[in-house]
Amino acid sequence: MSKKDIIVGIDIGSSNVRTVIAQVFPEEEMPRIIGVGTAESLGIRKGIIVDLEETVKAISESVEKAEKNSGRAVEKALVNLGGNHITSQDSKGVIAVGRADGEVTEDDIMRVINAAQAISIPSNKEIIHVIPKSYSLDDQRGIKDPLGMNGVRLEVDAMIIEGSTPFVRNLIKCIEQARINLDSFVLSPLAAAKATLSKRQKELGVILVDIGGGTTSLAVFEENDLLHTAVLPIGGGHITNDIAIGLRTSIDVAEKVKLEYGNALPKEIGKKEDIDLSVIDANEEGIVSRYHVAEIIEARLEEIFSLVNKELKLIGREKLLPAGVVLVGGTSKLPGAVDLAKSILSLPAQTGFPLPLGGLVDKVDDPACATVVGLILWGMESVSYGKKGNGEKNWLAKDISTSVGSSISGMRKWIEKFLP
């Protein structure tokens, strides 16, 4: 078995680190999951590394579990990048088409993408992704893929996604200390979107909301283009903290209460329903109201969805996305979360599940696994790119991405093309 047939994705989150190992078979459209490993993440808070040693330990533990599960050693991996240090801005690149006959080549597309990166960014920021929205060729505008077309002047309107250099360096250090070679970084909501959103949803207009442990990240698509992305410094862990404070109990007990008895809609809970804390933990005592727990959850989720709505207002898409809201992340599984999202955002809402893959499907068929499955699909594209396909266009939105800039030691620039 060739090393090129193996793809590894590592989702480093504030609550858990998930590693998935997949095997690619040329005759099969989708890869097979052959190994899955999960470890508790104690070194990351709100998407930011606060303890290098704990983060390395979590990555190593997760990878080791996946290796034992699959019988394969992990050498390199695609890794997600999140946290509220992520920012984005629009940019434009302009070049003259290189060939004398005016036909646009791959080299022209790469050059115009590089031209779009020639922007002023703060010294503590690095470019993570360059995502073309549309191209213009002379007087022709709104072109999705100019390859093979003829013209003189090629332009691109692109979105530049940037991350904090200190954070990126620290994350690279953790990955290297865990003895993993970094293949590339992928922004968390883009990975999750790759695993859960269909081309039709992206065409109509949709927002993916990934409610993680320490942050909530979102990505808005319309006409198959990425319109906006943001990371909010609030997540499911804040709900657990609220419950712990409200019930005057430990974080561990609060987490169990949230998972076993939680609901985002108090109106669905009888006011006389109680929770016996001693059943959850022998060291705890007392009876608490389940209705009160639901009120705590509702208040925090309302805050999260209100912040998401503010982001939609910023780009003029409030209540204007026909494909609605797709919720992923562990917190999205809370009963009532979808209905609350519909109410606050005034949009259709649903829970997003990763695309069905082969192999150990039951271990990743979970909204909490959307990001790590997206990493596998992202890697799958780079493996299969250039091979003869079945002639059908891929469901993935077209984008071209670069890894973190060459100023970071041990990183290499790369550009990938995804056909819509």
The pLDDT of residue 320: 95
pLDDT in tens, 233-253: 999 999 999 999 999 999 999
Q: Looking up tokens 């979590």, which residue turns up?
A: 58
Percent of the chain with pLDDT over 90: 71
Nearest CA-CA partner of 261 in 286, 297, 230, 229? 297
Nearest CA-CA partner of 418 in 374, 371, 382? 382
Q: The domain 236-294: what is its CATH number?
A: 3.30.420.40
Better-scored residue on pLDDT, 276 or 391: 276
Q: Which amino acid is at 347?
A: L
Over its C-alpha atoms, the chain yields an Rg (Å, rounded) of 22
What CA–CA distance (Å, rounded) separates 208 from 217? Answer: 8
pLDDT at 399 over 60: no
For range 214-230, the mean pLDDT:
93
Q: Which residues, in sequence order, are CB contacts of 418 under 8 Å at separation 6+?
A: 381, 394, 396, 397, 398, 399, 400
pLDDT at 315 over 50: yes
For range 345-374, the mean pLDDT:
92
The pLDDT of residue 30: 86
Better-scored residue on pLDDT, 396 or 3: 3
Model confidence, pTM = 0.86
For range 345-356, the mean pLDDT:
95
Band (382; pLDDT cuts 50, 70, 90): low
For range 10-31, the mean pLDDT:
91
In the chain, ranges of CATH 3.30.420.40 domains: 236-294
pLDDT at 380 over 90: no
Nearest CA-CA partner of 67 in 41, 95, 39? 39
Phi/psi at 284 (5° precision): -100, 155
For range 355-366, the mean pLDDT:
86
- CB count within 10 Å of CB 393 equals 10
SS3 161: strand
The pLDDT of residue 410: 34
The pLDDT of residue 4: 62
For range 377-393, the mean pLDDT:
52
Of 1-10, 25-34, 113-122, 290-299, which one has max mean pLDDT? Answer: 290-299
Residue 412 DSSP code: -
Domain 87-163 has CATH 3.30.1490.110: yes
- The answer to whether 219 and 189 are in contact (CB under 8 A) is yes
Q: Which amino acid is at 389?
A: G
pLDDT in tens, 138-178: 989 989 899 999 999 999 999 999 999 999 999 999 999 99
In the predicted model, what is the mean pLDDT of the chain?
A: 87
pLDDT in tens, 104-139: 999 999 999 999 998 888 889 989 889 998 999 998
In the chain, ranges of CATH 3.30.1490.110 domains: 87-163
What CA–CA distance (Å, rounded) separates 209 from 334? Answer: 14
| Angle of CA points 358, 197, 382, to nearest 5° | 60
